[in-house]
Amino acid sequence: MLSALYRKFAKKERRNLPPRKYRIPVVLNTSVIISHLYGGASRKVVDLWKHGHLQLIISTEIVEEYLQVLQKSPLLTERGFQALQLWFSHKSKVTAVRPGMRFKVCRDENDDMFLDAAYAGKAKYIISWDKDLLAIEKFKGIKIVNPGEFLDIYEQMRGI
C-alpha cells in the first residue's frame, strides 16, 4: 500500500515542481527537521523544500539519524512519520549522495556527516540550529546558517 501511495503522491508532485536548476541545494541538520514540528523558521525552511524551492541533499547516515530521532518525537503520529519517510525518499526533491571524502572538522564527530554530504552534493548551505556547526560559519564554500538567517538570504535572492 505504501508504494502505491508513494507513486500517486510522487506523480502529482512532479508536475508542480520548479526545474531542479532553480532549486537551492541544501543540507538540513537534524535540529531543523525536529524543530519544524514546532513551527517557526524551521517549518518555513522545510516548507520551502516540500514546495520544491530547495533541493535536499542527504546521505544514508543522515536519513537514518532523521528517522531515528523523529520516531521518538511525541509530536509525530505514525502516519506523520510515514509521510516524512515518503518525503525523504522523494527522488525529485532529494539528492542522495555517497560521500567519498570524510572530513574531521566538527567538535562532535557525528556532525561531520552533514559536512560530508554537503560537500559531496555541492550544497550551497547547511541549515542548522546546532551551535557547533554554526560556529564553523563556512566550510569549503558552503555557508552554515540557522533557519532565520537562511530565510533572510532566500528573501534577498528572490527579491521579496
* C-alpha dihedral sign at 24, 144, 73, 96: positive
- pTM for the full model? 0.85
Of the candidates 16, 9, 87, the one whose C-alpha atom is nearest the C-alpha of residue 50 is: 87
What are 22-75's pLDDT values in tens digits?
899 999 999 999 999 999 999 999 999 999 999 999 999 999 999 999 999 888
CA atoms within 13 A on the CB side of 88: 22
pLDDT classification of 160: cutoffs 50, 70, 90: low
CB-CB neighbours of 148 under 10 Å = 15
Which domains, and CATH codes, for the chain? 21-130+138-154 (3.40.50.1010)
